[in-house]
Amino acid sequence: MNMLICSVDSSATPASVCLLEDDKIIAEYYLNTGFTHSQTLMAMLESVLKISGKSADDIDLYAVNSGPGSFTGVRIGVSAVKGMAYAQNKLCVEVSTLASMAYNFLGNHAIICACMDARRRQVYHGLFRVDGDKIERLCEDKAIAVDELLGSLPKDEEIILVGDGAELVYQSAEDPAIKLAPPNLRYQRASSVALAAVETYNRGKVVSPAALMPRYLRLSQAERERNAKIKQEQDGAL
């Protein structure tokens, strides 16, 4: 595929930007400092373009982890890509944050259990089988309690935990077949977003900048608290 893809991830504490040209990663900027993504993301993009000798006009397609993840982080990444793609009149690809982490393990043969911390002993979860250069989704993305997740995992197969919720799940696991991914492969990266986007693009699943949206699995805490307050007020009025 002869095109330049710009991919972005800001769905959790780390943030990264990648340029993939003709199926080759030519530049990637990864930052895991806890700095606010709204302050760093555009500077990271400018840096990878400059050091790779590219400009925004050279980008053919944008890709972004559109959720699940941090409500603020996902919103920042999606908004940044919407703005850049709209200015250049380019198409976009939405990538599941959980699915993108499975692409860290291309070339391996394993079951990847992606887990992002959703607080209160819950995780955002997706399960994938990696078989060389092929990735098969085994369940839809969901928010699930840690204990329920552990009870639903396949038996008698090695399972690798990835994501910022992986350690939480691992600490509760009693099955020796459940392994914790090494730090260099445990978290989402823009390069894996780009690799996932290639397959999505080849299936014709692209969206306009206007149609690009965050994909949350549940309401934010603020929205849940507001709804609870409204319900309490309504109940009190009865």
Instruction: Return the H-helix or E-strand segment holding 136.
Output: strand 134-137
Task: Quote the crossing angle between the two packed helices 71-88 and 37-52, to the nearest 10°.
Answer: 40
Mean pLDDT, residues 185-212: 97
pLDDT tens digits, 33-70: 989 999 999 999 999 999 999 999 999 999 999 999 99
Tell me the domains of the chain and their CATH numbers.
4-97+188-220 (3.30.420.40), 99-186 (3.30.420.40)
pLDDT surpassing 70 at residue 220: no
Could you identify the residue written with the tokens 């696991």?
A: 173
Q: What is the pLDDT at residue 225?
A: 43
